[in-house]
Amino acid sequence: MEKAPFRRTNRRLTARIACQLTVSYRTTKDWHPATAMDLSRNGCRLRLGEDLARDAAVTVRATHPGKDGGPGLAADIDGHVIWSRLEGLSHQVGIQFDSDPQELHEVLAALG
């Protein structure tokens, strides 16, 4: 009898939108620049210049410039580091958000 191929379950509850959105993050009081490689209601993948410890508390500030000179959109979302790895000269970090604020929905709608 032939073995069935190993299948990994999909751990993501919502689809992530691929992007290269400039964001900020903080683990203490100081904000640092980063790039969001993808973003969803439940989390994101960031490219940044430092390694963050797994389970570290982090706040991500996602901003989107306004269209046609209108006001921009911003969302501050608390979360935790799920994974972190070195890729090339930068680190990539997976963040799981603790909440699903309306401001994040607005930023996601502007990206899509």
pLDDT tens sequence across 61-100? 998 887 776 678 899 999 999 999 999 999 999 999 999 8
pLDDT over 90 (residue 10): no
Residue 90 lies in a domain: yes
Is 24 among the domain residues? yes
How many CA atoms within 13 Å lie on the side-chain side of 38? Answer: 15
pTM for this predicted structure: 0.81
Question: Could you list the residue range(s) of the whole structural domain that residue 106 is in?
Answer: 17-111
Residues 20 and 60: their CA atoms lie apart, in Å, by: 14
**71: CATH:** 2.40.10.220
Structure tokens at 86: 């070195």
